[in-house]
Structure 1
Amino acid sequence: MNVLGIIASGVAALFITVALAKGARRPALRPHSPGGPDRRAPRAGALRRTGGAAAVLGVGTAAGGALWLGAADGSAGSVAGLLAGAGTVAALGLVHDLKPLWAALRLAAQTAAAVLVVCLAGLSPVAGVLAVLWIVLVTNAFALLDHVDGLLTAVGVVTAAGLLACSVIDGNTALALFPAALAGGLAGFLLHNWHPSRLQLGATGAQFTGFALAGSGALIQAAAPTDGAAWAALPALATVALADTALVLISRRRAARPPLRDTGDHIGHRLRRLRVTVPGTAVLLTLWAGVPVTTGTLVYAELLHPALLLVPLAGSVAAVYALLRVPAYAPPRAAPPRTAARRTPAPATGAAIPSAASAPGGKGSPCGKGVPAGPARTAAGRPTVPPPPTGRSAPVAAERS
Structure 2
Amino acid sequence: MLYGIAAATTALLLSAVLTALVRGPALHLGLLDRRRQRPLPLGGGVAVVLVTCLVGAAGDWTGVAPLGSGIPRLLVAAAAVAALGLVADVRRVKARFLVGGTAVAAACAVPYEETGVLGGLAAAGWIVGVTLAFRALDHADAVAGTVGVVTAFGVGVCAAAEVMDGLAVLLSVLAAALTGFLMHNWHPARVGLGACGSLFAGFLLASAAVLTRAGYEAGTGAGVLFALTAVASADVVLVVLARRLGGRPLLRGGPDHLAHRLRRLGLTPRGATVVLGAGAFGGVLMGVLVHLGWVARSGVLWVAAGALIAVLLLLKVKRPVARPTATVQVRPQLRVRNG
The TM tier, using the shorter chain, reads 0.7 to 0.9
Cα distance in 2 for partners of 1:44, 1:179 equals 28
The letter of the residue matching 1:396 is: P
Give 1:9 deviation, angstroms.
2.9
Task: Classify the secondary structure of the residue corresponding to 1:262.
Answer: coil
The letter of the residue matching 1:5 is: Y
The letter of the residue matching 2:83 is: A
Is residue 69 of structure 1 aligned with residue 62 of structure 2? yes
Give 1:176 deviation, angstroms.
1.4
- Distance of aligned partners of 1:264 and 1:227 in 2 relative to their CA distance in 1, 3 Å threshold: closer
Is residue 273 of structure 1 aligned with residue 264 of structure 2? yes
Is residue 168 of structure 1 aligned with residue 156 of structure 2? no
User: Contact conserved, 1:79 with 1:178, CA < 8 A, in 2?
Assistant: no
1:118-139 deviation line (CA, Å, top 9, x unaligned): 2697753122201210110110
Give 1:227 deviation, angstroms.
10
Task: Classify the secondary structure of the residue corresponding to 1:75.
Answer: coil
Give 1:197 deviation, angstroms.
0.8
Task: Classify the secondary structure of the residue corresponding to 1:252.
Answer: helix
The letter of the residue matching 2:178 is: L
Q: 2:288 aligns with which of 297, 300, 306?
A: 297
> In percent, how many aligned pairs have the same letter?
37
For structure 1, list consecutive stretches of 5 or more residues without a partner in the other structure. 29-39, 342-393
Task: Classify the secondary structure of the residue corresponding to 1:257.
Answer: coil
Task: Classify the secondary structure of the residue corresponding to 2:255.
Answer: coil
Q: State the partner residue of 2:141.
A: 149
Point out the structure with max Rg over C-alpha: 1
User: Contact conserved, 1:17 with 1:54, CA < 8 A, in 2?
Assistant: yes
- The CA RMSD measured in Å over matched residues stands at 2.8
Q: 2:200 aligns with which of 205, 208, 229?
A: 208
- Distance of aligned partners of 1:318 and 1:97 in 2 relative to their CA distance in 1, 3 Å threshold: same
Q: Greater shift after overlay, 79-88 or 44-53?
A: 44-53
TM-score with structure 1 setting the length: 0.75
Q: Aligned pairs, how many?
A: 328
Is residue 246 of structure 1 aligned with residue 237 of structure 2? yes
Cα distance in 2 for partners of 1:255, 1:86 equals 35
Structure showing greater relative contact order (alpha-carbon pairs closer than 8 Å, 6 or more residues apart): 2
Q: State the partner residue of 1:59.
A: 52
Q: State the partner residue of 2:226.
A: 235
The 5 Å alignment of 1:248-267 reads 248-267=239-258
Task: Classify the secondary structure of the residue corresponding to 1:190.
Answer: helix
Q: State the partner residue of 2:303.
A: 312
1:314-351 deviation line (CA, Å, top 9, x unaligned): 121111111001112536969x9xxxx9xxxxxxxxxx
The 5 Å alignment of 1:84-233 reads 84-118=76-110, 124-222=116-214, 225=216, 229-233=220-224
User: Contact conserved, 1:88 with 1:113, CA < 8 A, in 2?
Assistant: yes
The letter of the residue matching 2:273 is: A
Task: Classify the secondary structure of the residue corresponding to 2:144.
Answer: helix
1:338-395 deviation line (CA, Å, top 9, x unaligned): xxx9xxxxxxxxxxxxxxxxxxxxxxxxxxxxxxxxxxxxxxxxxxxxxxxxxxxx95
The letter of the residue matching 2:61 is: W
Cα distance in 2 for partners of 1:66, 1:129 equals 31
Give 1:102 deviation, angstroms.
0.3
TM-score with structure 2 setting the length: 0.88
Give 1:198 deviation, angstroms.
1.0
Give 1:231 deviation, angstroms.
4.3
For structure 2, list consecutive stretches of 5 or more residues without a partner in the other structure. 34-39
1:12-67 deviation line (CA, Å, top 9, x unaligned): 32222122112223556xxxxxxxxxxx8673747822321111111111111122
